[in-house]
Amino acid sequence: MKAAFIMMCFMTSPLQYSGDIKFSSVNNCMYFKNKLHGQVMRLGDQVRKYECMCKATLVNKGTRLF
């Protein structure tokens, strides 16, 4: 196992899991989190917002990290 930082993003109203990506550096994770967090997406008459967070985690040694 090796250390990694996972960025998870959700869309609000209603809450829906959007995806995750794993990074080798907390700085890279925070950079992309800051770019995506708070963006607004319009789907028909709905307005949905991205909520993202970075979290420290452990991954398998073969896992690709960005």
In this predicted structure, what is the pLDDT of residue 33?
Answer: 95
In this predicted structure, what is the pLDDT of residue 17?
Answer: 83
Residues 31, 32, 35, 37, CA torsion sign: negative
C-alpha span between 22 and 40 (Å, rounded):
23
Q: What is the pTM of this model?
A: 0.81
Annotated domain spans of the chain: 2-59
| Angle made by CA atoms 31, 24, 55, in degrees to the nearest 5 | 65
Which residues of the chain are under the pLDDT cut of 50?
Answer: none
The radius of gyration computed from the CA coordinates of the chain, to the nearest angstrom, equals 13
In this predicted structure, what is the pLDDT of residue 46?
Answer: 86
C-alpha span between 38 and 35 (Å, rounded):
8
In this predicted structure, what is the pLDDT of residue 4?
Answer: 97
In this predicted structure, what is the pLDDT of residue 61?
Answer: 93
